[in-house]
Amino acid sequence: MSDYLAIDHIDQVFQRGAATSEVLRDVSLRIAKGEYISIIGHSGCGKSTLLNIVAGLLRATRGGVLLEGREVNEPGPDRAVVFQNHSLLPWLTVYDNVKLAVDKVFRATRSKSERHDWVMHNLDLVQMAHARDKRPGEISGGMKQRVGIARALAMEPKVLLLDEPFGALDALTRAHLQDSVMEIHQKLGNTVLMITHDVDEAVLLSDRIVMMTNGPAATIGEILEVPLDRPRRRLDLAADPVYIRCRSAVLEFLYARHRAPTLAA
């Protein structure tokens, strides 16, 4: 398997005054182009920390991230992030939120009308073109998350980073968006790194599921291949033996071998 994105022996230690807390220890992961990877683990184990390191928003204490063989140590549109709470700019319309990114990334390479078409194309992709003139305050949580995804896709990232993109949504909206993301991944062949809490979501969407041990000093406990054919349909999978096997493997890892450490806390 060729390494498109390589996470190489990452340690992360936070230092606050005299107190140090080791969050990640020796995390290594190789991801091929077009792969869909999920990271699953208990709350507080360091998933967001790992994603932020890949995004370049946080410098690892030791180790590094290589994208196409080149080290990345600052944020950039080649690793677009969809944040957990959408993080649209509330004073801009849906259209302008996406346009802000498009204008910045493609200012030199595309004409004004090409950029406009590209914004609309990406809004169409997430079925949000009809709300282009609305402000984030005027649309639902699921719609905001769609726009966040459109904004990230519009940067034509090499890697799409999703931090619990559907975490704050109700089950129906979540299923709907999962289908959208699956469809987009199928169509565009993006490389995706997604954090999730949801076992079904991880199995449904991923090629591989990265399961993290509990912190402090969390690391990758196990990596599970999900050998399900694509396109996947959630209704057909419910009774699929491969799906059931993967699902119970993840559940077993999370709840039998690596139970949440401080549920009392």
Partner 1 sequence: MSMPARNFETPAAPGRSATLFALPRRQPDVLRDRVKPIAVAAATRLVPPLVMLAVLIAIWQLAAGSPTSALPSPTKLVSDSWELIAHPFYDRGGLDKGLFWHIFASLQRVALGYVLAAVAGIALGVLIGQSIWAMRGLDPIFQVLRTVPPLAWLPISLAAFRDGQPSAIFVIFITAIWPIIINTAVGVRNIPEDYRNVARVVRLGGLEYFAKIMLPAAAPYIFTGLRIGIGLSWLAIVAAEMLIGGVGIGFFIWDAWNSSLISDIVVALVYVGLVGFCLDRLIALIGRFAARAA
Ligand X SMILES: Nc1ncnc2c1ncn2[C@@H]1O[C@H](COP(=O)(O)OP(=O)(O)OP(=O)(O)O)[C@@H](O)[C@H]1O
How far the first Cα of the chain sits from its last, in Å, is 41
Enter the tokens of residue 10. 């990452």
In the list 21, 89, 242, 257, the residue contacting partner 1 (rule: CB under 8 A) is 89
Instruction: Considering the complex, state which of residue 28 and residue 43 has its C-beta at the smaller distance from ligand X.
Output: 43
> What is the per-residue binding string for ligand X in 189-218, x denoting contact by CB under 6 A?
--------------------------x---
For 45-88, the DSSP string reads SSHHHHHHHHHTSS--SEEEEEETTEEE-S--TTEEEE-TT---
Report the partner that residue 7 touches, choosing among ligand X, partner 1, Mg ion, none (CB closer than 5 to 8 A by kind): none
Nearest position to ligand X, beta carbon: 48
User: Rounded to whole angstroms, how far apart are CA atoms 114 and 161?
Assistant: 25
Q: Give how far Cα 94 sits from Cα of 98, 104, 120, Å.
A: 7, 16, 10
Query: Which residue of 31, 37, 45, 182 would you call a contact of ligand X, by CB under 6 A?
Result: 45
- Closer residue to ligand X (CB): 22 or 68: 22
Can you tell me which of 51, 54, 55, 149 binds partner 1, judged by CB under 8 A? 55
**Over 149-186, what HEC string results?**
HHHHHHCCCCEEEEECCCCCCCHHHHHHHHHHHHHHHH
Comparison of 9 and 230: residue with beta carbon closer to ligand X: 9
Query: Which residues of the shown chain bind Mg ion in the complex (CB under 5 A)?
Result: 48
Query: Which residues of the shown chain bind partner 1 in the complex (CB under 8 A)?
Result: 55-57, 74-77, 79-81, 83, 85, 87, 89, 91-92, 100-101, 104-105, 155
